[in-house]
Amino acid sequence: MLDILTLVAIGLALYTLNASRNSAQKIGEEVLRLRREVEALKAAGPVVVAQAEQADDVAALPADPAQEPEQETFDGPWAGTTDELDKGRAIFGSAPAEEATESVAASQTAQDVVTAPAATPVTTPAKPRESFESRIGARWAVWVGGVALALGGIFMVKYSIEAGLLSPAVRLSLAAVFGLVLIAIGEFVRRRTQPLIANAFQNAMIPGVLTAAGALTLFAVTYVSYGVYGYFGPLAAFVLLAAVSFGTIGLSLLHGQALAGLGLLASMLTPALVSTENPSAWGLFGFLGIAWLSTFAAARIRRWQVVPALANAGMAMWTLLYLTQASYVDVIPVLLTMLLLALGHGLLWPGSVTADDVPAPAAMSATPAVPATALDRLFAPPLLAVSLTGALAMAFPALVLASKVPAIAYGEYAFAAIVLALAALGTLRGWAIYPALLSAIAAVGGVVKMTALPGGLIDPFTLIEPPTLDGAQPVSVLGLVPVNLLLVLAVAYAAVGLVAVRLQGRGDRAFAAIWSILAPAVPFSIVAVSFLNLGNLSFDPKHGLLAIVLGLVFFAAAEMFSRESEAEENIDIKQWAFVAGGFAFLVLALHALTDGLATTLGIAVLGTVAVFATRLRRWPVLPWLMAAAAMLVAGRIAWEPTIVGAANLSKMPVFNQLLAGYGIPAALLALSAFELRRWPGERIRNLLQALASLFVLLTAAILVRHGMNGGVLDSAVPTLGEQATYTLLIIGASAVMMSLDLKSPSPVFRYGSMVVGVLSVLSVLSAHFIGLNPYFTGELLGKWPVFDLLLVGYLLPGIAYGGLALYARHRRPLPYVIMLALTAVALAFAWVTLSVRRYWHGEGIADWKGFLQPETYTYSVVWLLLGVVLLAIGSKVDSRSIRLASAGLVLISVVKVFLIDMSNLEGILRALSFIGLGAVLIGIGLFYQKILSRKSGTEDATELNAGA
């Protein structure tokens, strides 16, 4: 049954071949006839039709096409056609050959000159879709026929083996002859049919299918002769397989990209099919390099994209297999192959190609043009698949080499060379955005893997190897670290990046902007990773001096490129990137050459110098360096709040390292904000003002905590006295920011003062009244009445809030002022209440002591008196919020007298409580009646005077 199916398949293939040849001949004859007609029309010259004759012709046309008699149509694949060429188009559903297209266009142009009016718009007919019949008859039949031919040859060999008709040598010879015959037939058919239907069916060319079947047969014969029967040795088999592969790639220049893919696949499989006792990396990568070059040469000639991308993928897979699976790795062949890839992409294909050299795909050309941005064009370069796969084919081996250090000898040098080759490719070619980006990723990722991650040169958890059983001393692995190589790589990458900015800046500004970011970022990352993992964190002159040099280089580059810009005030990405990179290198140098307090102060000084440099260069990036410096100082403070370490921190209050570490950056921030008072950038000025205010508060708070904890900074919960100090500092900061806003209006001071005030109120509610309240915590108040913890924790903050509310009156929103006033009243109420409890219970006022009857009566008296005092103050300053607070206190007293005193007090205390309450309420009523009567009289007098 299998043999019958094979014969049927071969018959179908021959029938398809014959039918296709007949169709091609008919189309060719029709094209030649149309060409002769067009040439005759050209020889006769254009015939100009007079305007009157055009009018007559237009008048002679039927007015309504709907009134014309309809013709009977046949719904066939060639329905609506008028000649053989249209029939061919309808059947095959594709554009004709290039020559036919040109002839038909010329014929149509000549007819338009004769008959079409000058003003008639020309519409391009839509390209007809390929019909089902065309796919079955002209494409699938070719593909299935080629497969059938290949299977037929295989089944014939199989049948001869099973039947024992022929010897193996004869069978293989016949199979080889069969393959050669298929290739010869393919070439014969190509020469007869390619001028006619080559462009119509590029992916179903019969000559290419026949040639592919023949090449596959020859490849199979060669491998069976070597692997099954042993007729060839490894060297001869390798040479023959390579010859078949390269021959297939060469024939692809005639038969298309699909055949090139088959040849590439054969060449990539050849090393895997041939085994030898002494494998050679030079032989492997030499063969792969030749196969890759052959593929790219054919791709350059025919301008292919798919096959070279597959070649890159195959090269990458072989390289990764060798690096990960070989027992011994010779790094030189791998390095030379990667350099060959870089050179091949840069010089051969894509080479110097530009977007104008590569035609847009048909699908894109058929859609309306959409304007593309510079980044869209940058990240969608011509031959995207080739450039991306080529970059990946070099980046992945580089990362593997870095991960294998020090197991692979000289692997770190090969890694550095491949990274720089990728970067150089991204420098010299405008389409090489992905090589540039992947060079940066490979450089940073490889250095991190080489130095920081487990398995690299340094294990972050174990810096030395454990001792062996024979008692030998541990061997330090630091000697294996190629620190100098990493620093050379950083310098070389910086140089390549600067050259790239210079070269790309003349053409693609977006690519130049990308390079201006990569040029400082990648070297900085390499030097920083090397310093953090391999350097001396206390003092490292090697990393420090190199960082200073690179920082100055990038500042000089910023100056050079800024002078070339048209307007110095314009925001230039190159300027921002180079200045920020130079500043980052100088900060890194400070960390390498200094330690502790000097590093913190040095960062703040660097930012201040950048601010004052605005007097020389009006670069927008310079003030932002001070903000970056403040963030770095804040980060160092968060990492080590003591600045110099807990053991080295002086216990002297105020005048210690904290004053310098916190206070000097705060002063420099304030000075920078003042220096930028006329700077056009409002956002950076406001930011520096906010940072200065924050650092001032931070300085005061840390000094208070240091002084009140015996010169020790730890994570202990603060006491009420310490918290009260923080509250007073925040109140003072809010008042200072309000004063600064009134003197020099700024949204930072305006809204910052209110935000600080709100945060302080929330802190008071949570800490003073609940969390640190001596009534709940049992904290002792001190031996001296009045001048005790209650004075610091409640009375002084209350007075401060009252003064702040009075100062903010008519200067801040009314709800904010009311909030401050009510907070002041609440703190005064707490101070009075807790002072009464201290009078009856001493310095310990914990809740477990309960309440005494005289104490309960005293609360009523004191609350009423406080309410009266608040009423007087509210009337004096004409504050409705204070008067309402007094009313609240009186109401609380009334509720207490009727609910608590009536049930708990006895005898004369109960009577006095009610008498006192009644007297106070009557007095308050009389007070309000006089005030209201006075206001009413004043209003009446005003009305009488107005009437008079």
pLDDT of residue 165: 65
CA distances from 624 to 590, 637, 671 (A): 19, 20, 14
Q: Which of 99-103, 203-207, 320-324, 889-893 has the least mean pLDDT?
A: 99-103
Residues with Cβ within 8 Å of residue 603, at least 6 apart in sequence: 587, 590, 629, 632, 633, 636
Cα angle 678, 682, 688; round to 5: 90
Convert the pLDDT of each residue in 678-690 to its tens digit.
899 888 988 899 8
Higher pLDDT, 164 or 2: 164
pLDDT of residue 899: 63
Residue 211 CA to residue 149 CA, distance in Å, equals: 11
Would you say residue 804 has pLDDT above 50? Answer: yes
Residue 764 CA to residue 797 CA, distance in Å, equals: 9
Q: Band of the pLDDT at 369, cuts 50, 70, 90?
A: very low
* Nearest residue to 106 (alpha-carbon basis) of 184, 46, 19, 191: 46
Residue 608 CA to residue 691 CA, distance in Å, equals: 13
Higher pLDDT, 19 or 170: 170
**DSSP class of residue 275?**
-
* Nearest residue to 302 (alpha-carbon basis) of 260, 243, 341: 260
* Nearest residue to 581 (alpha-carbon basis) of 654, 526, 653: 526
pLDDT of residue 365: 43
Two structure tokens written together for 648? 């080295």
> Where do we find the tokens 């608040």?
870
- 696 near 733, Cβ under 8 Å? yes
Residue 333 CA to residue 325 CA, distance in Å, equals: 16
CA 493 to chain CA centroid, nearest Å: 21
Convert the pLDDT of each residue in 123-157 to its tens digit.
444 445 555 555 554 556 666 766 776 676 667 65
CA distances from 765 to 670, 748, 807 (A): 31, 25, 22
Would you say residue 59 has pLDDT above 50? Answer: no
Q: What is the average pLDDT value for the chain, to the nearest integer?
A: 78
Two structure tokens written together for 61? 């046309």
* Nearest residue to 626 (alpha-carbon basis) of 681, 589, 557: 681
Convert the pLDDT of each residue in 556-570 to its tens digit.
999 998 887 654 444
Residue 317 CA to residue 439 CA, distance in Å, equals: 19
pLDDT of residue 9: 44
Would you say residue 273 has pLDDT above 60? Answer: yes
Report domain extents, the chain. Answer: 851-948
Convert the pLDDT of each residue in 438-450 to its tens digit.
999 999 999 999 8
Convert the pLDDT of each residue in 343-352 to its tens digit.
999 999 999 8
Higher pLDDT, 551 or 363: 551
Higher pLDDT, 82 or 491: 491
pLDDT of residue 259: 78
> Where do we find the tokens 């009375």?
795
pLDDT of residue 374: 78
> Where do we find the tokens 């237009």?
58
pLDDT of residue 135: 53
Q: Band of the pLDDT at 527, cuts 50, 70, 90?
A: very high
Would you say residue 942 has pLDDT above 50? Answer: no
> Where do we find the tokens 């980052």?
584
Would you say residue 99 has pLDDT above 70? Answer: no
Convert the pLDDT of each residue in 709-718 to its tens digit.
788 877 677 8
* DSSP string for 379-426: HS-TTHHHHHHHHHHHHHHHHHHHHTTTTSTTHHHHHHHHHHHHHHHH
- 259 near 204, Cβ under 8 Å? no
* Other CB atoms within 10 A of residue 699 CB: 21
Q: Which of 124-138, 294-308, 476-490, 884-898 has the least mean pLDDT?
A: 124-138
Convert the pLDDT of each residue in 825-858 to its tens digit.
899 999 999 999 999 888 899 988 888 878 877 8
Helical H runs in 744-813? 747-763, 774-777, 789-790, 796-808
